[in-house]
Amino acid sequence: MGGTLPMLNPPHHTRVRRSVGNVFHRNSLAEMKASVERTTSRLLDRFEEELAYGPADFCTLVSEELPVITIGEWLQIPSADFAFLRSLTHDQVYTQELFPNPSQLALSDESTRQLREYFTSLVKERREKPGRDPVSEWIRVWDAQEPDREVADEAVYSLTLFMLLAALETTAHVLSSTFRLLLEHPRQLNWLRIHPEQIPDAIDEALRYDAPIHMISRVASEDTELAGVTVRKNEMVQLMAGAAHHDPAHYASPEVFDIRRRPAHLGFGGGIHFCLGNTLARLEADCLLAALLERLPGLRITAAPLWEPRVAFRRLITLPVARA
C-alpha cells in the first residue's frame, strides 16, 4: 500500500496524480451517469422483488453492489470477478486499522497478495492488447514519461489497485450509511422526498455525521508541533477525522443529524490528498437516493444493523429493511 497515491508525498505524489488526469471530469461523469442510473434501477428491481417476501438486506442487494459494478465497468474488468475483488477489498483494509490482530493481518496480507497478482496480470494484458480504457491510457501516459517499463507497469498497477480499493469500501459505506440515517429520521426523509434538490446536502451531512474513514494515519517527515504536542520525525500520528466531525467548537449540536446543515467536512480528505473519486461517489449516492425516494416510500429498518468491528474504515454489514 505504500506505493498507492494517498501514501505518497511530493514530488512523487505530484507526478502520479498528474498521470491520472482529471478522470472524473464533467463530460466523463455525464457519460457514466446513464450507466449508474441503469445499474441502480436494476439493483432496485431485485431489491423490490425481495421486499415482496419480507425484510431484505439493503447492504447485500444494493450498497455493496453499486460501487463494484460502477468501478468494475469503468476499468473494464470482467463482471464475473466483481464479487471476488469485493471480498478481497473487505479483508485488505484490516492492515489500515488501528490495532489489527494477527488473524486480521494474515487476511490482509493474503488479500493484498491476491490483489497484486490480479492487477499485475491485468496491466500485462492491457499492455499486450491496449484498448480505450483507463488502464490502457495510464500505460500510454507512463510509457511516454518513464523509459523503464517495469517502473511504468508498477505505477499503473498501483493506480489501478488504488482506484478499486478507494471506490468500493468507502462508497458502499456512504450509500448504506446515508440511507440508514434517513430511515432513522423519517421526518427528514419525508422532507427530502418533497425537496429532492437537497439530496447533495443530505449526502454531505451523512459524510459529516458518519464518515467512511474515521482515522487517517500519517508519519511526520520532520520534528513538528501539533496542537501543542511535540511530534518527532518518523513518529506516526492518527488523525481522528470522525471525532473532528463531532467537535462542538466547529458544529452546532454535532450529535444531531440535520440534512439542512450544509457542513464543511473531511469525508473526502483535503489538500493534495483530496479524494480523486469524490465526484463519482457523489454521483452514485445521488442517483441511488433519488431512485429510492421515487420508487420506495414507506420503508423501515426491521432489526439492528450489524457493523464490522473497525475503527478506521466504517462498514455496515447488514441493513435489514421492509415495507412499513
Per DSSP, the residues of 46-85 read HHHHHHTTS-EEHIIIIITHHHHHHHHHHHT--GGGHHHH
Rounded to whole angstroms, the maximal C-alpha distance in the chain is: 62
Q: pLDDT of 241-287, one tens digit each? A: 999 999 999 999 999 999 999 888 988 888 877 787 889 999 999 99
Q: Are 208 and 263 in contact (CB under 8 A)?
A: yes
Q: Are 174 and 207 in contact (CB under 8 A)?
A: yes
- Please state the pTM of the whole predicted model: 0.92
- pLDDT at 221 (0 to 100): 87
**For the stretch 285-313, what's the b/e string if a residue is b when 16 or more beta carbons lie within 10 angstroms of its beta carbon?**
bbbbbbbbbeeeeebebeeebeeeebebb
Give the pairing of strands 236-239 and 216-219: antiparallel
Residue 3 has pLDDT above 70, yes or no: no
The count of residues in the chain is 324
Q: Which amino acid is at 91?
A: D
Region 87-103: mean pLDDT is 90
Q: pLDDT of 276-323, one tens digit each? A: 788 999 999 999 999 999 999 999 999 999 999 888 899 999 999 999
Residue 114 has pLDDT above 60, yes or no: yes
Q: pLDDT of 7-59, one tens digit each? A: 777 877 778 777 777 777 777 888 899 999 999 999 999 999 999 999 999 99
Region 209-219: mean pLDDT is 90
Region 211-228: mean pLDDT is 89
Q: Which H or E run includes 287?
A: helix 278-295
Residue 178 has pLDDT above 60, yes or no: yes
- pLDDT at 1 (0 to 100): 57
Region 134-156: mean pLDDT is 93
Binning pLDDT at 50, 70 and 90, where does residue 133 land? very high
Binning pLDDT at 50, 70 and 90, where does residue 194 land? very high
Please give the torsion angle defined by the CA atoms of residues 138, 144, 146 and 149, in that order, rounded to the nearest 10 degrees.
70
Q: Which of 149, 140, 122, 171 is nearest to 21 (CA)?
A: 140
Percent of the chain with pLDDT over 70: 98
- pLDDT at 78 (0 to 100): 96
Q: Cα dist. 293→149, 191, 195, 202 in Å?
A: 49, 11, 10, 13
What average pLDDT is seen over the chain?
Answer: 92
More confident residue, 268 or 71: 71
Q: Which H or E run includes 318?
A: strand 316-318
End-to-end CA, the chain: 44
- pLDDT at 239 (0 to 100): 87
Residue 93 has pLDDT above 70, yes or no: yes
Dist. CA 43–CA 49, nearest whole Å? 10
Percent of the chain with pLDDT over 90: 74
SS3 138: helix
SS3 317: strand
Q: What are phi and psi of 267, to 5 degrees?
A: -60, -30
Residue 5 has pLDDT above 70, yes or no: no
Topology (CATH level 3) of domain 5-210+274-323: Cytochrome p450 (1.10.630)
Cβ-based burial of 33 (10 A; exposed 0-12, middle 13-18, buried ≥19): middle
